[in-house]
Chain A
Amino acid sequence: MLKNQRILGYSLIAPAMVVIGLFVFYPIFEAIRLSFYNRILTIPEFSFVGFETYEKLIANEIFRRAFRNTVIWVVGSTVLGMFFGGIIGIIIAQGENRITRFISLLVLIPFVMPDVVVAATWAWIYDTNIGILNSMLNQMGLIKENVDWLGSAKLALPAVIFVMAWRIAPLGALLVQSSYKGIPLEIFEAAEIDGANFFAQLKYIVLPLLKYAIIIGILLTMMWVMQNLAIVRLMTDGGPGRTTEILSTYVYKQNFQYFKESEASAASVIYFGFLIVISLSYLIIFRRVWVKET
């Protein structure tokens, strides 16, 4: 009976497993397989070259720069996004009325806008000659001449990181807001009686209790940032020079503009490995903390 039930269970999930295998595992396998060849679509002949593609990739200055920029891009966007998202989440969780509900909706706007619209809007805001950012800063007397936000080697990467952080902050706000509302009111009341002010409550009650939500939020936003292509592609396309080149844009160019399939696959595999390492490390730390506390 039990055996029959097991067979029934497996056969019921089999179609879903086939689909997952086809759309998730097969592309990963194919990318890994292709990375061991030297396939360029515009050259009919290609052969197995083992790790040679990886060696060339790692020796490539542009790839190394893209990798470095990706680390800065991911860490910067995630930390900034979760930090501001967290603050917004705590603020809007303070009350439950029409105003806070309305603000909750407004906060979602960056999250629901398509990447293309976000990139086009911010490219216009940052525009050196007609952008409203320069116009505002000029009127406030904070700058004497227009700043080349996206054309400056020093400012371009922080500028796009800020846009990505703006994009993901609502996710952090939602996570923090919903977790905050799960904290029993009696804890805050007890803390008030003991004389704890807002910041003390934040430090000793809110942050420890929101730890798991923040950890999950950081992991999710990090994965989302890592797979984002449109923001950098449409705002700077990796420029000026390669100052904002990230692995997503690098892989895109290798594959769709230069037709270098094997190189693009190898870069994707390295990127995938990077993501796995980050996610696993995170989960291991998260599990240790959880085990320790329980």
Chain B
Amino acid sequence: MKNRMFKVTMFILASWMIIMTAGAVFAEKTAEKPVEVVFWYFGGLDTELRLFPKMIEEFNRQNPGIVVKGTHFPWDARDEKIMTGFRQKNLPDLITRDSMAVADLVGMEILVAFDVEFPDYYNSWEPRFIPEIWNQVSRLDGHKYGIGPYCSVGPMMIFDPELLESLGLEGVPETFEEFLDFARVVKQNGYIGVSLPASKATNDMMIFMDIAYANGGRWLSPDGKKVMVNGPAWVETLKLYDQLNKEGLIQRGAMQTDYVDALKLTVQGKAGLGMGKDWINAIVYDLGAPAEKIFNLTRFPRKKPSPGEYPPVGLTLEGGSDMMMMSTSKVKDAAIKFVDHYASEEVLRNWGGDPVRGRTPASFVAYDNPAFKKYNPFLYQQFKAETLFEDAIEAPNFRGLAEMYHILADAIHEVLLRNTTPQQALNKAQKQCQEVLDRYIQ
């Protein structure tokens, strides 16, 4: 009797557990779950890293049916993460990347063209952005693949006017010759003349490229089939580097000094002049410079007359945190809403000096932010005079570019090591780069 009661009790308990479990599973399957959008963002300033989670949280709150899950990765991991995600067929729905990556990602057939797949959203965003940036940056073959709140522009020179004045130097150098003269005076007074970033970092090579472009150089011929890196503008730029090195006007260990370390020398008052892009003040602020300290920016000097075969460029434009959608995304309709949020004026305004400072905004609304005028006086002045984006073109964006930047770095190092002349080094680089390009155009 007892045995039978025990068996009945166990049977009832087991049945109840099975029913409850089945019910829970059924309820979970039928309950409406919010759509999950996976978002990867790479690198960024401290202020941007604090801004992204708030932006995601705000979006999730405003859109209860969608959950954006954002994950941040270091800048150096950007290619690895995308590549391994691609191989594992485990890409996110959205990423933020530099516009230089567009050609490679389109080549991998993993990017969505916003103008093709979301024309209504595309048309609604266009009036918010500076036309020179909107029409050029993150585009390939006319299609728009990335939407970003700012652009890195260059080449720029950074200087401390008080230091230069104390050394009897007035104004700013506008030509290569004046630049060398300034650097010589600075050096004679016990400072480093110019803090030169000449490491293998891509940003250092982009600074070199910006100077070459500003002097009439181009990476490729107009038909995109010939590498032009041994042209006169590139040679003159490398001759400038060589001259600075030979006269001891740069810091020792230039080939191990990247753009951040080079900036530190200027910020610390050890170097009279520095070079880079517009993000100089952004990085300086990130490095802990006092909030009210603003370093002066101006366009980098040029060789007069322009040595290059092409029209000198005012500035090169590179999107730094452009939002891109993966073609593998299964939740595109939800993901586009987050892109729309990113492209909204409320969000874009953040890159106008507060909280994110030192960037060149891509949207009109950011220039209206009072903080922009305060923290970017040079850029604000140029924007108001409508000269900021005069003769500005997109920074180059084609497959094989990453490898070519490393080849360019080798050429620069060979010259700085005094193993060869600038023309010889760039001739060799041209041949190697041409081999790289030929693989893609065949």
Within 8 Å CB of B2, what residues of A? Answer: none
Within 8 Å CB of B253, what residues of A? Answer: 127-129, 146, 148, 150-151
A256 & B83 in contact (Cβ 8 Å cutoff): yes
Chain B, interface SS category: helix
A150 & B108 in contact (Cβ 8 Å cutoff): no
> What's the nearest-Cβ distance from chain B to residue A257, in Å?
5
Top 7 closest pairs, chain A to chain B, by CB: A128-B253, A42-B107, A241-B413, A240-B255, A151-B255, A258-B403, A128-B252
Give 29 A-B contacts (CB < 8 Å), ordered by A residue. Answer: A40-B439, A40-B440, A41-B83, A41-B86, A42-B108, A127-B253, A128-B253, A128-B256, A129-B252, A129-B253, A145-B252, A148-B252, A148-B253, A148-B255, A151-B253, A151-B255, A236-B256, A237-B200, A239-B256, A239-B413, A240-B255, A241-B410, A241-B413, A242-B410, A256-B79, A256-B80, A257-B402, A257-B406, A258-B400
Known: A128-B252, A240-B256, A241-B410. 9 other contacts (CB 8 A): A123-B256, A129-B251, A129-B265, A148-B255, A153-B419, A240-B413, A242-B410, A257-B79, A259-B83
Within 8 Å CB of B199, what residues of A? Answer: 237, 239
A43 at the interface (CB under 8 A from B): yes
- B-contacting residues, A30-75, CB 8 Å: 40-44
- B-contacting residues, A235-284, CB 8 Å: 236-242, 253, 255-259
Within 8 Å CB of A239, what residues of B? Answer: 199-200, 255-256, 409, 413
> What's the nearest-Cβ distance from chain B to residue A110, in Å?
22
How far apart are the CA atoms of A253 and B419 in the complex, in Å? 24
B260 at the interface (CB under 8 A from A): no
Q: With A40-B439, A128-B256 known to touch, is A240 a contact of B417 (CB < 8 Å)? A: yes
> What's the nearest-Cβ distance from chain A to residue B249, in Å?
15
How far apart are the CA atoms of A151 and B200 in the complex, in Å? 11
> What's the nearest-Cβ distance from chain A to residue B247, in Å?
15
- A-contacting residues, B56-112, CB 8 Å: 79-80, 83, 86, 103-104, 107-109
How far apart are the CA atoms of A127 and B413 in the complex, in Å? 18
Within 8 Å CB of B108, what residues of A? Answer: 41-42, 44, 259
> What's the nearest-Cβ distance from chain A to residue B261, in Å?
9
Residue of A nearest to B77 (CB): A256
Within 8 Å CB of A145, what residues of B? Answer: 252
Within 8 Å CB of A238, what residues of B? Answer: 200
How far apart are the CA atoms of A88 and B334 in the complex, in Å? 63
Residue of A nearest to B416 (CB): A240
Q: Mark B390-401, 1 if CB is under 8 A from A, else 0.
A: 000000000110
Within 8 Å CB of A42, what residues of B? Answer: 103-104, 107-108, 399, 440
B252 & A146 in contact (Cβ 8 Å cutoff): yes
- A-contacting residues, B188-224, CB 8 Å: 199-200
B48 at the interface (CB under 8 A from A): no
- B-contacting residues, A135-153, CB 8 Å: 145-146, 148, 150-151, 153
Contact of B414 among A127, A146, A241 (CB under 8 A): A241
How far apart are the CA atoms of A241 and B198 in the complex, in Å? 11
> What's the nearest-Cβ distance from chain B to residue A61, in Å?
9
> What's the nearest-Cβ distance from chain B to residue A236, in Å?
7
Binding site for B on A (CB under 8 A): 40-44, 123, 127-129, 145-146, 148, 150-151, 153, 236-242, 253, 255-259
Contact of B107 among A44, A127, A241 (CB under 8 A): A44
> What's the nearest-Cβ distance from chain A to residue B13, in Å?
35
B347 at the interface (CB under 8 A from A): no
Within 8 Å CB of A255, what residues of B? Answer: 83
How far apart are the CA atoms of A151 and B197 in the complex, in Å? 13
Within 8 Å CB of A241, what residues of B? Answer: 410, 413-414, 417, 419
> What's the nearest-Cβ distance from chain A to residue B404, in Å?
10
> What's the nearest-Cβ distance from chain B to residue A67, in Å?
17
How far apart are the CA atoms of A150 and B256 in the complex, in Å? 7
B403 & A257 in contact (Cβ 8 Å cutoff): yes
Within 8 Å CB of B252, what residues of A? Answer: 128-129, 145-146, 148, 151
Residue of B108, B252, B399, B400 with most chain A CB atoms under a 10 A cut-off: B252
Residue of B nearest to A235 (CB): B256
How far apart are the CA atoms of A146 and B416 in the complex, in Å? 17
- A-contacting residues, B234-266, CB 8 Å: 251-256, 265
A151 & B254 in contact (Cβ 8 Å cutoff): yes
> What's the nearest-Cβ distance from chain A to residue B82, in Å?
10
How far apart are the CA atoms of A43 and B103 in the complex, in Å? 11
> What's the nearest-Cβ distance from chain A to residue B241, in Å?
13
Residue of B nearest to A145 (CB): B252
Q: With A236-B256, A240-B416, A258-B403 known to touch, is A43 a contact of B107 (CB < 8 Å)? A: yes
> What's the nearest-Cβ distance from chain A to residue B324, in Å?
15
How far apart are the CA atoms of A150 and B104 in the complex, in Å? 32
How far apart are the CA atoms of A257 and B251 in the complex, in Å? 29
